[in-house]
Structure 1
């Protein structure tokens, strides 16, 4: 895990678009979970395919389901709290070779710390800390452009389909 100290505030920048979870569903083709993020101030949609365990961690928190013992992301939250750190925001920061990257921004002892993370883990932590989720504008543009390529026409069709789903079709976080 990479960490680096930053002396810049973890406040959101103009390059970041605030997103919210629109839904959590199963991809009917690959049978893999998809987190669907939606721009809070617009209509941009970003689907991110994730692992089943990470999707489960997100679903448990979305549904406020208590577990008898701390799950991994609960443990991470407890560790940060006990070390006097606080997660301020998460940013899906990069799309490289069809893989999304994220950064978790923490405050610790008056210093801002940026930690590299998978988007699914970052989102699971953001939900537990009730902090904002952002996506870099370049990531939104890159995901749109890659979806318009000749080899990924199905991704663009899926994006249009996701944008037009109503709450019943989205499943409200059911998997």
Structure 2
């Protein structure tokens, strides 16, 4: 079963100084962090902030290609977690047929924002991520991260809160 999530906020991990997208289950208080690269973080932030570049950025290009191929992005699903790496899929419809494309979660989230389509996390992934809150190997412990995520408030998220 897939759980619908929303972006709760964008932050910098205080221990590793790496960007984090914090996803929250819409039906509960469960949150799940995903560490992303700085370029993907910027792509997500720029779409949330509605910043417009003079030329199409990579995720805008992908959106334009999907549209010009007469397809529609229906949803994205973060569907697996292996060795502290998340996996995702883009669910598209083209000419009445369902097409599923493998993607990095950060790219999938950036596209979902551009399409205003739902983001889901597989229930087993959410459960595993809650139990295994593991960022980079040299980062904080799972208990430290759990406490940090559960204690998030709007001031912590600053201008990146959703």
After superposition, where does 1:120-159 map in structure 2 within 5 Å? 120-147=106-133, 154-159=141-146
After superposition, where does 1:89-168 map in structure 2 within 5 Å? 89-147=75-133, 154-168=141-155
CA distance in 1, matches of 2:57, 2:7: 20
Look up the match of 1:35: 21
After superposition, where does 1:27-106 map in structure 2 within 5 Å? 27-106=13-92
User: What's the TM-score once normalised by structure 1's chain length?
Assistant: 0.85
CA distance in 1, matches of 2:107, 2:143: 25
Look up the match of 2:5: 19
- Runs of 4+ aligned residues of structure 1 deviating over 6 Å after TM superposition are none
Question: Size of the alignment, in residue pairs?
Answer: 158
Could you tell me how far 1:153 is from its partner in structure 2? 7.2
Gaps of at least 5 residues in structure 2 are: none
CA distance in 2, matches of 1:146, 1:46: 10
CA distance in 2, matches of 1:156, 1:130: 33
**Alignment partner of 1:87: what SS?**
strand
User: What's the TM-score once normalised by structure 2's chain length?
Assistant: 0.92
CA distance in 1, matches of 2:33, 2:143: 11
Gaps of at least 5 residues in structure 1 are: 1-14
CA distance in 2, matches of 1:60, 1:20: 17
**Alignment partner of 1:74: what SS?**
helix
